[in-house]
Structures are given as structure tokens and as C-alpha cells.
Amino acid sequence: MEKQKNINSKKDKDVNKPFAITLDVGTSLANETGSWRTERPVYLDRLPPCNNACPAGENIQAWLYLAEEKDYQGAFQEIMKNNPMPATHGRACYHPCETACNRKDVDSAVNIHAVERFIGDQAIEKGWVPKYDAKPSNKTVLIIGAGPSGLSAAYHLTRLGHKVTIYEAGPVAGGMMSFGIPAYRLPRNIIQAEVKRILDMGIELKLNHKVDDVQHEMKTGNFDACFLAIGAHIANRINIPTPDTSKILDAAGVLRDMETGNNPPKLGRRVVVYGGGDTAVDVARTAKRLGAEESIIVYRSGRDQMKAHDFEVKEALEEGVTLNWLTTIKEMDASGSIKVEKMELDAEGYPQPSGKFETIEADSMVLALGQNVDTSFIKNIPGLNIIDNVVEVATNMMTGYAGLFAGGDMVPSERTITVAVGHGKKAANQINAWLFDKTDSPLPKHELASFDKLNDWYYTDAPITVQPQLDVIRRHTTFEEVLGGLDDSNALYEARRCLSCGNCFECDNCYGVCPDNAVIKLGPGKRFEFNYDYCKGCGICVKECPCGAIKMEPEEI
Amino acid sequence: MDDKQRVKFYQKGTFTVGNRLVDKKERNVQASMDRSNAITSGHRACQGCGEALGARYALDTVMRVTKGKVIASNATGCLEVFTTPYPETSWQLPWVHSLFGNAPAVASGIAAALKVKGKKDTRVVAQGGDGGTTDIGFGCLSGMFERNDDVLYICYDNEAYMNTGVQRSSATPPTARTSTTMPLGDAPGNVFGTGKNMSLIAMAHNIPYVATASVSNLQDLEAKVEKAMTFRGSRYIHIFVPCPLGWGHASDITIQIARLVVDTALFPLFEAEHGAVTNSTPIRKRLPVEDYLRPQRRFAHLFKKGAIDVERIAKLQKMADENIKRFNLLRKEEDTI
């Protein structure tokens, strides 16, 4: 029986051999050419520029990878690891990822925000919820403020197993997403849907609950820690001499009234907005939609110095907003005549008065000169430091008062919703560590996958997909969303424009181009391995890797 | 059709070896885990050898198409020497070497024997370097073409006799330095106006299929080998394979050099059937010939500091320009030739 089996297996072996092969012995495999090598190739992961630039710490490349396979739900879950509001961010984030994207050096950056928005919208439409696995920690955390950073912290703390309660002073959740970003950029049903998805995880939200005494609230509620995220809502004002102050409004107030007021703010036929940031542009565009015939942005410095994003200014100009740069406002008389002085840029690029004056007629003037934090209710907390009207926090986001953390617009930072969401996540991790007496130190970052690490010959030209825009006529009268979304097929196309900078996407190039068959393919999802017995160290795989995921290292002798 | 296939654009574009988004049946042979590795590891080719790569690309494709039923005859040359130092062999298919000049004749004999034995499924490949093809084996090859014997002949062109110490062959390009065309005197490097264009000579025999390919463009190369195997009779494929040692370039830029020769139009990629050109591969991004010449030490004398040989570079550029015209290499990809 045993013998029989042997004969069979020998026969099988012969059958499986390549046709007419006789030379088992004497194969060149005996000659291990790896000994020729002075340098060895090694696989590595580099940090894609998009991930590096994302303030919310999203792994953009990873979710684009899933979206490329049409696995939008997988992509959604990947986004949710870092950012609970993709439909919101796909609209309102200023996408620094796209500014960093290496594809801009091939043709144009990947339209990342449009794909994120598509995935976010799919999630809302199909009712996808985040998957996570958390054991209840029996710890409770209070969050003050239901803006982007508060909601993000609540979400991430819940994913970590903590019980979260949010106190919000206003009548709706969303913070600056609702009160700072106009509906034509971010429709309210989108915010509501994403906030609801977060709250449905078991988070308690108390609206119209203004906190006056943080310590007292923490004590009475038996909270183990607290995250402060009240934002910056107080408008900066300057003194403009006028007999009729009722004609001078502030931008934060105007945008807030748009949300909460029963009547839209009365701005009149001719509106002047003073400032050069995104908020100034938002107000000017809002004024147009409220029926203003003239909506003029007055800004003291030059066009290039404006802090507002280019696309916002472009869209505003399309809608008929006019820009009056290098101009300062001196005074406003009772009839609405505004005296302005023209400015000139000096050698250093700073605006200086020119002594030339002009007049602009206006029914109202809106100041959009930045916002400040209302620090009145936290001034007396022991250990808590307020410097330049923002709250000082350590690297772990904790204030000087143990267990009290802070983030978002109220700490020193760039004030965008994405930075705020990033703060929320970071604070959640740090609160989690603090609650368990541990330290949370993030893993060291990989080296950056810059464009010079790529071999772009392998990527075909594929121009960016442009999102459809609402007709200009309708942008004069309605608050309908200006930018349209992608559909199923162009979202897939756009996701596939990703170059996968710095991370193997299993294109098989190394496996194919090795003259010595010294690359072992491990199968789908498992990447590759070098066979150093035969690798001669020629380096072709490094040069031909499209995404820069291999490097040469000197061989140790 | 699968939904995934409807969007005909893939992350890697079209040019990498493999792609997880492409239907399995459409993927390259070189991407598959079960490719035959016709030349296995342990061969003694130099680091970054273009010929070892080109031979594996071509023969793995033949192995796939014939389901492993193929016999190869090999001329003397690098490919023969580095794969078979006695008693070792790197070949994982039936392989025979006889003389420098008779590889096509040996292949013709094998094809005749298979015909007599009625083994239609078993196919024959003959292969050699440029020396074995354009010089020493030229007579046998022309005879094989003329009789239209059922053999695919593949020439791996590294533009000189590398195995014996980089002597000039009739495939060496003008101005190139070899050990027999040193950059001395009035005509530095190989002279203009000599050499043979083997692909055009093959076409003149009216054989069923002729093609040129480069190791830099695997998709193109595999498609041509596959197509060649659909014909019976004599077929000829000329594959451009850089030689880091003989050309004096770094071992890691072998494929880059093979790409530059295509993108500068010094080596046009085309196909011909029965003596007429039927297709060419358009250049995606055209580059000046300097880009190809500069990284190679065999052309270093053209770029001496303060004495750049503008005249000869212009002559080489003119050759490239003529290729563009002749094979219509600058048309859009979707346009026919």
C-alpha cells in the first residue's frame, strides 16, 4: 500500500513538471547571486502628502484605495476612524490635502473633497453607521459646546467606551458649522444628519444650557473629565465714527441671525462688508442672496493679502460681489455715506495711508474683522491660563486645571472646522489616556512621500473632475447649494486618480521588472518580499516603483 | 460586464505590470503568481541586465500561450553564456544551443521534425543577441524567413557583442563607443551610414509578422509576443534590451534607458504583417535625443565640457525625426496609423 502511494506521488510530480524538463539537478538555483550585492532594496511606507496635510488626521489614501474598488462603505468606515462628518467636510473643509497632493505635478490635484462628499452623502442616504468595538469604561466626560470640536471629541470618546454628555448654549448643535458657514455652502440637512448619527451612538445633548461655572457642573454631574470647546463667537469691532450705530453690524451676528432669527437681517439695497477673510466673503454673498443690489467688500490690503480662499472669492465675483481692496473705512454719516481712504502698499508689502479719500454710499455696513473667545466664565478656574484671549493648553490639550481639556477655536490654532475636528480627536485620545493614568504618545510619522520619490511615467494623464455649479441667476436669490456633487461613475474615476504616494498598491511592478526573479509575490493584500538569496542589488525595482515604496540601503559587511 | 470594469481608468494608469482593478483574464503574464519564469534565478547576468528581463518577458508569454509546449533554440551570446555555465541551467523549458550562427537553422529543423511527428501543439522559438542575429546568423535567419518555417525568432538587441568585450556589431548605432569604435580621430565612435535595420529586412521577406518592442513597455511587448503566436510561419520580434555594462549606465536605470529610447523616437515601436506596417505605438511624451544619450558613457564623447558635438547630436536627432514621420509616432493614441 505504502509502495503504491509512492508510485502515485512520483507520477503526479512528473505530470506537474513543465513540459519535457529533465534537468532537476544542475539548476542555476544553486548559484546564490545575492552575494554580489552591496546594496539591498527594502520596502517601506512613506507618508502621503494628503494625509500629512489633513488637520483631522484622516488616512485619505486608505479610503481612496477602498473607493477605487467601489467599496464606498469600507471607505466610509475608514474615514469614520478619524472624522465623524465626511459629508460636512466634503463641502466646508478648505482641503489642504489637495494643496499638498502630488498629482498637481502630473496634471491637477485629486478632487479629494468631492469624493469625500460623495461617500458622506452615500452614508446619509443609505443610513450607514460607524462600526466600532468599545468596552464600557464607566467613566463620564462632560463636553461644553456642540461645535465641530465638541462633537468630534464626543464621538471619539464614545468610540473609546466613555459616557459623554454635551452642554450647548445655543438652540441647535453644530456651532460654527451652522452659525458661521452659510447654507449655500453647507446645507443644514447635511449637518443635522451627521450630528444625529453622532448623537445616536448614545451621546446626551442638552441644548440651551449655558454653563456659567465649569467646576460646579463637573462636580454636580459627577464627570471624570471635561472638554471645553465653546468656540470664538464675539465679533471684533473697531471704532468707526458714525451718528447712527444701527447701520453698523457684525458678521458673526448677521450669519447667526440667518440661522436663528425669525426674520433675516435687514441689510438694505447697498451693503458694505469690511474685512478680507472667508467670513467677509460669506457675508457679502449672503447679502446678495438677501436682495442687495450692491454688495461691496472693502479690504485694507491688496488682493493677494486677502485671507479668504481663492475659490470663495471667485464664486463671490461670479455672483456680482465687488471687491474694493487697498481701502480703509474712516467714518459713516447719518445718510450712509462712507468716507474711505485709499491705501498703498509699501516696499515691505504693508498698506500705508495715501491721503486720497473717496465716498461709498451704503445702507448698512458689516464688520468682518475676526472673532474672539468669550472667556468671562472661565477666568476664575485655578490654573487655567488665558493668553491673548485664547486658552493655553499643554501638548495633551489639557488646561492648567487637572481634568479640564480645551480645543477648537478657543485655543491657539487656525480656526477651521477641520482643525476643530482634529482637536476633538486628539483631546479624546488624551482624555482617555489621562483617565487611565497613561500617556498617549502618537506613533512617529513616516518620512514624506514627495513627488521626486515617484515614477510618474506609469500614471496616465487624467484631468480632474469638475463639480457642477448652480446657475448664477439662482445664486442671486436662493440659498441652494452652489456646488453639486459627484455621481457614482465620476466619483470612482476621481478616486482612481490617486497616485498612492509612498504606499504599495500592489501594481506588481517590482515583481515584474526584476531581472533575477528575486521578488516574491505574496498574493492579494499581502504585498511582496525580496528573495535576498538571488537579489543582485541592481536597484531597478526602486527606480520603477511608481509610488516610491522601496528604497536602497547599504549592505552591512 | 462587471461594474468595476465600466470605468476604464485605473489608479496606476495603464502602464504598470499588474493591476488589482483589471479583470484577471486581462492581466499581464508577468503579474501572475504562476508565471513560468522561463529563466529562473541564479543566472549570471550582470546587475540590471536588460536581456535577462526581455527574455523572461517574451518566453513567459510564449509559455502561457502554448501552455508550456515550446522548444527554444539559442544562438551563442550573453543570453546563452550567463544562463548555462556547465553543468547548471537557468532554463525552465526545453532549450538547445548549437553554434553562434545556426540558431535559426536548428529551429527550422526542430519545426520540421515536429511537423513530421504531427505535433502541431508544440511551438518553436529561436533567439539570439544582435550579433548572432544581424551578423553571424544572418544567412540562416534569412533562409528561415525565405522558407517561411514555423518559428518565432526573437532578437534581444543590446547593440554590440557584449559577451566578448563590447565589440561593434551591425546593430551598433552611429557615434556609440565600443572597444572597436573608440572615440578617436575624425569620426569618433561608430560611423554614420553603416549597420542594418533587421526589422525592415525581415519585413522585406514578406513573413507573416514582424514587431519591435522595448523592455520598458511590458504591455506592448506581451501583446506583440501573444499576437506573433497566433500566426504560423516565420515571425520576427526585435526587443530593445539595454546593457548597463556595455553602455556604461547605472544598473538601476535599465528600464529608464529603454523608455527614453522609445520616447525620443530613436527606436520606434511598430508591427508589420506580410511586409506592410500595420501599427505603431505613439509616443506619450516626446523627448530630445540628448535625454537618452547623456546617461550613457558610450556617448560621453558627444558631451565633452566646452566641446559638445552639436553636429552629431543633430544628426541623431534627425534619425529620430525621420522615425516619427515614417511610423507616425506623434499621433493621438486613439487615432490609427
| Structural domain boundaries enclosing B216 | 25-327
Q: What is the mean pLDDT of chain B?
A: 93
Domain range list for chain A: 2-46+504-554, 49-130+454-495, 140-233+373-435, 235-370
Among B309, B305, B273, B269, residue whose Cα is nearest residue B290? B309
DSSP of B106-155: HHHHHHHHHHHTT--S-EEEEEEEHIIIIIITHHHHHHHHHHT-S-EEEE
The pLDDT tens digits of the residues spanning A153-203 come to 999 999 999 999 999 999 999 999 999 999 999 999 999 999 999 999 999
pLDDT at residue number A2 = 42
Question: What CA–CA distance (Å, rounded) separates A305 from A308?
Answer: 9
C-alpha cell at B135: 551578423
Is B105 in contact with B49 (CB distance < 8 Å)? no
Comparing CA positions, the residue from A370, A380, A411, A379 lying closest to residue A393 is A411
| Stronger pLDDT, A489 or B204, i.e. the higher one | B204
Cβ atoms within 10 Å of A294's Cβ, excluding its own: 18
Backbone angles phi, psi at B101, to 5 degrees: -95, -5
Query: Rounded CA gap, A147 and B259, in Å?
Result: 54
Alpha helices in chain B (DSSP H): 3-6, 50-65, 78-83, 103-116, 130, 138-147, 198-204, 218-228, 244-247, 254-263, 289-293, 310-327
Looking at domain A140-233+373-435, which of 1.10.540.10, 2.40.30.260, 3.50.50.60, 3.30.930.10 is its CATH number? 3.50.50.60
B119 backbone φψ class: left, alpha, beta (φ>0; ψ -120 to 50): beta
Q: For an interface test with B, give the residue of A22, A517, A519, A529 to mutate (most B CBs within 10 A).
A: A517
Q: Considering the domain boundaries, does residue B18 fall inside one?
A: no
Mean pLDDT along residues B293-302: 97
- Residue B308, strand partner residues: B303
Whether A543 and B253 lie within 8 Å, measured CB to CB: yes
Q: How many CB atoms lie within 10 A of CB B232?
A: 13
In a domain, B2, yes or no: no
Domain membership of residue B1 (yes or no) is no
Asked if A33 and B93 come within 8 Å (Cβ–Cβ), the reply is no
**Measuring CA to CA, how many Å separate A154 from each of A158, A514, B207?**
6, 50, 75
* β-sheet bridge partners, residue A39: A554
Per cent of chain B over pLDDT 90 is 85
Q: What is the pLDDT of residue A463?
A: 78
Examine the pLDDT at B2 and tell me if it is beyond 70. no
- B165 assigned to some structural domain: yes
- CATH number reported for the structural domain that contains residue B256 in this entry: 3.40.50.970
Distances (CA, A) of A72 to A196, A509, B313: 21, 27, 53
CA distances from A229 to A166, A405, A409 (A): 10, 9, 8
Mean pLDDT for the stretch of residues B247-276 = 98
Topology classification of domain A235-370:
FAD/NAD(P)-binding domain (3.50.50)
- Are A140-233+373-435 and A235-370 the same fold in CATH? yes
**pLDDT tens readout for residues B223-252:** 999 999 999 999 999 999 999 999 999 999
B38 at the A interface (CB within 8 A)?
Answer: no
Please give the full DSSP string across B66-109, using - where no structure is assigned: TTT-EEEEE-SSHHHHHH--TT-B-B-S-EEE--SS-HHHHHHH
Task: Sort out which chain A residues have CB atoms less than 8 A from B5's CB and list them.
Answer: none
Report residue B223 CA to chain centroid gap: 13
Interval B309-337 mean pLDDT: 91
Residue pointed to by grid coordinates 458657514: A181
In angstroms, the Cα distances linking A74 to A55, A58, A62, A112, A422 are 22, 14, 10, 16, 21
The answer as to whether B40 is a domain residue is: yes
Distance CA A116, CA A238 (A): 39
Residue window 104-133, chain B: list those with CB within 8 Å of chain A: 122
Candidates B252, B261, B285, B332: best to mutate against A (most CBs of A within 10 A) is B252
> Does A2-46+504-554 carry CATH code 3.30.70.20?
yes
At A13 the pLDDT is 52
Q: Identify the pLDDT of residue B10.
A: 54
Residue in chain B closest to A511 (alpha carbons) equals: B31
Strand-by-strand arrangement of the A351-361 sheet? A327-332, A337-345, A351-361
Q: Which residue is listed with cell 529551429? A: B107
B58 within domain boundaries: yes
Cell of B284: 506619450
Cα–Cα distance measured from residue A290 to residue A284, given in angstroms and rounded to the nearest whole number: 10
Looking at residue B129, what is its pLDDT?
Answer: 97
Per-residue model confidence (pLDDT) at position A15 = 54
Q: What phi and psi, each to the nearest 5 degrees, are found at residue A540?
A: -60, -40
Q: Cα A247–A363–A359 angle (5° rounding)?
A: 105
Say what the pLDDT of residue A4 is.
41
- Total H helices, total E strands in chain A: 19, 21
Provide the pLDDT for residue A246.
Answer: 85
Taking residue A185's Cβ as centre, other Cβ atoms within 10 Å add up to: 17
Establish whether the linkage from the previous residue to A243 is cis, with ω within 30° of 0.
Answer: no
CA distance B311 to B314: 5
Residue A19: its pLDDT value, please? 59
Position A8 scores a pLDDT of: 42
Residues B129-146: what's their mean pLDDT?
97
Residue B55: CB atoms within 10 A of its CB come to 29
Classify the C-alpha dihedral A259-A260-A266-A271 as positive or negative.
negative
Count interface pairs A-B at CB distance under 8 A.
174
**What are the pLDDT digits (tens) for B153-179?**
999 999 999 999 999 999 999 999 999
Question: A507 and B16 in contact by Cβ < 8 A?
Answer: yes
Q: According to the model, what pLDDT value does residue B7 have?
A: 41
- Is residue B6 predicted with pLDDT exceeding 90? no
Right CATH for A49-130+454-495 from 3.40.50.720, 3.10.20.30, 3.20.20.100, 1.10.1060.10:
1.10.1060.10
Q: Which residues of chain A have pLDDT under 70?
A: 1-25, 262
d(CA A396, CA A403): 11
Query: So what's the ipTM on this one?
Result: 0.94
The C-alpha of A381 sits at a distance from chain B's nearest C-alpha, in angstroms, of 54
Smallest Cβ–Cβ distance between A31 and the set B16, B18, B44 belongs to B44
> Is B92 within 8 Å of chain A by CB?
yes
